[in-house]
A and B are shown apart, each in its own frame.
Chain A
Amino acid sequence: MIEKIGIENLLILSALMFFIGVYGFLVRKNLITMLMSVELILNAVNINFVAFNRYFYPEKLQGHFFALFVIAVAATEVAVAIAIIISLYRKIRTIDVEKASEMKY
């Protein structure tokens, strides 16, 4: 069944997701939205992992494992990032990324 769907489709999907993520990361000023953009990037990568694994090395499982691994890392990352954002908010009463420039130089 899955053979009917070419890998190109999956790759196009993941590329779109990836660049949407990058765009969001670069353009949105809200830290939470930026975090969500990062999640998009990670998931785009996950799709690629799984797709390549399934199409080229169906007898192996490394790609799946790696996707799971990334999900786990992403989850922890979110936890840490949210913690940083909350404490940042407590300090400067905003989560606008451009305002958080105290540590420059």
Chain B
Amino acid sequence: MINDTYSFTVAIPLIVFFSFLIIGLGFGRLKPMVSGIFGTMALLAVTALSYFTAYRYFFVDGMMNGSFQKFIAYDALWMSFTDSLQVRMGVLLDPISVMMLVVISTVSLMVHIYSLEYMKHEEGFSRYYSFLSLFTFSMMGLVLSSNIFQIYIFWELVGLSSYLLIGHYYERPSAVAASKKAFIVTRFADFGFLIGILMLSGITGTFDFLKITDPGGSALTQGSAVGFMGLSVMTWSLLLVFAGAAGKSAMFPLHIWLPDAMEGPTPVSALIHAATMVVAGVYLVARLFTVYVLAAPDALITIGYIGTFTSLFAAVIACTQFDIKRVLAFSTISQIGLMMGGLGVSGYTGQEGLGYTASMFHLFTHAMFKALLFLCAGAVIHAVHTNEMTGMGGLRKYMPVTNFAFLIGCLAIAGVPPLSGFFSKDEILTAALEKDKLLFAVQYAVAGLTAFYMFRLYYSIFWNSDRQYHSKPHESPFAMLFALIFLSAASIVSGFIPFSRLVTPDLKPFDSHIHWAVAIPAIAIAAAGILIATLMYRKESGLPAKTAAAFGGLYRAAYRKFYIDEIYIFITKNVIFRYISAPLAWFDRNVVDNAMNSIAALTNLTSSRIKGLQSGQLQQYAYVMVTGVIIVVLAALYFMNA
């Protein structure tokens, strides 16, 4: 439905785009601080617009006849493949896109403000801000996309900005390698995504989300015939689309880029690799949720299983890592896995849509507290100049505000009431319990592990015993603290947002309440996790080492991230480079090219063989000529008579 009164929303991405252009093209000419402030101001405007949009949409005129409407606020033709298959640049407003606007603008604004101090003394400050703007633009474009092709376009652009920002310290080989890895792994996933899009558009004849996801529309019923290897074409296409989502959202086995992405500046990790870009996959599945749930339930439950498995897998690894950003990265993977798990167990109508609602809810709360945790980690790293938790300890005395903010983040992610994580996780668990007991059991275990590793992290940084610091750690400057405090507040209160009244799969609000039968055991296991962590890490003791030894092989495997990286390196270095490309290049030079050179050589050879005929002996030529004449004459006589 077209709604012109919302057409101002097109300014949201455009403002940041122009901010990118201005800072980017003014490269080197603008004073660093000027570009920083300029970028932040642009984002402030965008945030205000986003909040206004959200307010108007959710509380003024988004609801009609008891359900939220999907508005096309802006629409322009970008490219037409055929008359029906067109790529349009549009703005689609519905509960999830509006919610994402709020998430992105909030976190992005906080990161902009935080970075003003954090990145102050870095080289490439302007470049950093222009890329932040580029990222925000692409992300806004992604969530507002009105068709699946548009989402793919912005999908690639967020991949680009992620690449550029991970590689911000481009003189560091590890950062270059990490950015390359992130881009290529997600690109590989996008290959699946693109094929999925092509198939989906082939089935439905359109890219348009409104048409594809219309529950009563014809798009859903097409392509359900069994196509290939026992699954319908629709299921295949949706699984391939999910492959793209899994790449961006770091689902197993495509998660390997995310921990390495922590080579980027910490605020970037907070913005891109914790709060916004990595949940794009979740958002994509949610965006196509109607199709998944109505036309390809097989694909949906697969997503649930993959998500839940990833969440356990990453949680186990998180327990063993020592780099605080890596712990947070694995925790992010784990939490996104939970969101995918939530989507996987969701139904479509009414109360059955709880999983979807819970997943979006968790996406929202997670964005707040994970950004908070990352920014705290940034503050800590800023203070002690190391990422390793072995080099930290006792920081609560030096950084009281950060300590407090980090504690809130940890409590929220551990699911301790009344912080936000509790509410969203409770809903995911409830939805899983109703649908699939196995998924519930795994997610329940993950909840305990989450509490454990987060508090392991917390105690190792802020408690434990003091280390030898080069210079006395100090509390962060105001701009950074402001972001921390704001996000702490958001982490506390966002749990009270009545999500089931705002974001539901069928757009009709329903009532939900806390399910104490699930909540109480969940609180109990979180408490148990915290307790164990307290015992092990609050004071320096030999307990962690002993426990690690007790787990033996499992611990070592988890510490080495289950050797997935090694497998990838094997595939890329050995298989692609050594066994495909190198032989191919050899083949090209020595077989294909040689074939061409051989033709030339053959010509040469032939001519050198027959050049002997040109002996230079005049009389020899004359003999040949005379003989020839005689033959010709005889032949002529013979044939004329005949």
Interface set of A (CB-CB < 8 Å, partner B): 22, 25-27, 29, 34, 97-98, 100-105
Closest Cβ of chain A to B357, distance in Å, is 90
The answer, yes or no, to whether B611 is at the interface (CB within 8 Å) is: yes
The answer, among B611, B616, B619, B622, for a CB contact under 8 Å with A103, is B616
Pair count A-B, CB < 8 A = 28
Cα A29 to Cα B623 in complex, Å, equals 13
Contacts of B622 in A (CB 8 A): 25-26
Contacts of A98 in B (CB 8 A): 617, 619
Contacts of A101 in B (CB 8 A): 615-617
Interface centre among B611, B619, B626 (most CB of A within 10 A): B619
Residue of B nearest to A104 (CB): B616
Cα A23 to Cα B616 in complex, Å, equals 19
The answer, yes or no, to whether B80 is at the interface (CB within 8 Å) is: no
Query: 9 closest Cβ contacts across the A-B interface?
Result: A104-B616, A101-B616, A97-B618, A105-B611, A104-B614, A26-B622, A26-B619, A104-B615, A105-B614
Cα A27 to Cα B611 in complex, Å, equals 24
Closest Cβ of chain B to A15, distance in Å, is 13
Contact between B623 and A102, CB atoms less than 8 A apart: no
The answer, among A100, A102, A105, for a CB contact under 8 Å with B618, is A100
Contacts of B616 in A (CB 8 A): 100-105
Interface centre among A25, A29, A103 (most CB of B within 10 A): A25
Contact between B614 and A97, CB atoms less than 8 A apart: no
Cα A42 to Cα B626 in complex, Å, equals 15
Chain B interface size, as a band, is 10 to 19
Contacts of B611 in A (CB 8 A): 105
Interface set of B (CB-CB < 8 Å, partner A): 611, 614-619, 622-623, 626
Contacts of B615 in A (CB 8 A): 101, 104
Cα A26 to Cα B616 in complex, Å, equals 14
Cα A22 to Cα B618 in complex, Å, equals 13
Cα A98 to Cα B614 in complex, Å, equals 13
The answer, among A26, A34, A100, A104, for a CB contact under 8 Å with B623, is A26
Contacts of A97 in B (CB 8 A): 617-619
Cα A25 to Cα B617 in complex, Å, equals 12
Closest Cβ of chain B to A2, distance in Å, is 30
Contact between B617 and A22, CB atoms less than 8 A apart: no
Q: Show 26 A/B contacts (Cβ-Cβ < 8 Å), sorted by A.
A: A22-B626, A25-B622, A26-B619, A26-B622, A26-B623, A26-B626, A27-B619, A29-B619, A34-B618, A97-B618, A97-B619, A98-B617, A98-B619, A100-B616, A100-B618, A101-B615, A101-B616, A101-B617, A102-B616, A103-B616, A104-B614, A104-B615, A104-B616, A105-B611, A105-B614, A105-B616
Cα A102 to Cα B622 in complex, Å, equals 18
Contact between B614 and A25, CB atoms less than 8 A apart: no
Closest Cβ of chain A to B152, distance in Å, is 65
Cα A102 to Cα B611 in complex, Å, equals 14
Closest Cβ of chain A to B269, distance in Å, is 75
Contacts of A27 in B (CB 8 A): 619
Cα A98 to Cα B615 in complex, Å, equals 10
Closest Cβ of chain B to A32, distance in Å, is 14
Cα A100 to Cα B619 in complex, Å, equals 11
Given A22-B626, A101-B615, A105-B611, 9 further pairs, Cβ under 8 A: A25-B622, A34-B618, A97-B617, A97-B619, A98-B617, A98-B619, A100-B616, A101-B616, A102-B616
Cα A98 to Cα B611 in complex, Å, equals 18
Cα A26 to Cα B619 in complex, Å, equals 5
Closest Cβ of chain A to B326, distance in Å, is 75
Cα A100 to Cα B622 in complex, Å, equals 15
Contacts of B626 in A (CB 8 A): 22, 26
Contacts of A26 in B (CB 8 A): 619, 622-623, 626
Closest Cβ of chain B to A33, distance in Å, is 12
Interface centre among B616, B623, B626 (most CB of A within 10 A): B616
Cα A34 to Cα B626 in complex, Å, equals 15
Cα A33 to Cα B142 in complex, Å, equals 97
Closest Cβ of chain B to A95, distance in Å, is 12
Residue of A nearest to B611 (CB): A105
Closest Cβ of chain A to B50, distance in Å, is 84
Cα A26 to Cα B623 in complex, Å, equals 7
Cα A98 to Cα B622 in complex, Å, equals 13
The answer, among A25, A102, A104, A105, for a CB contact under 8 Å with B619, is A25
Contacts of A103 in B (CB 8 A): 616
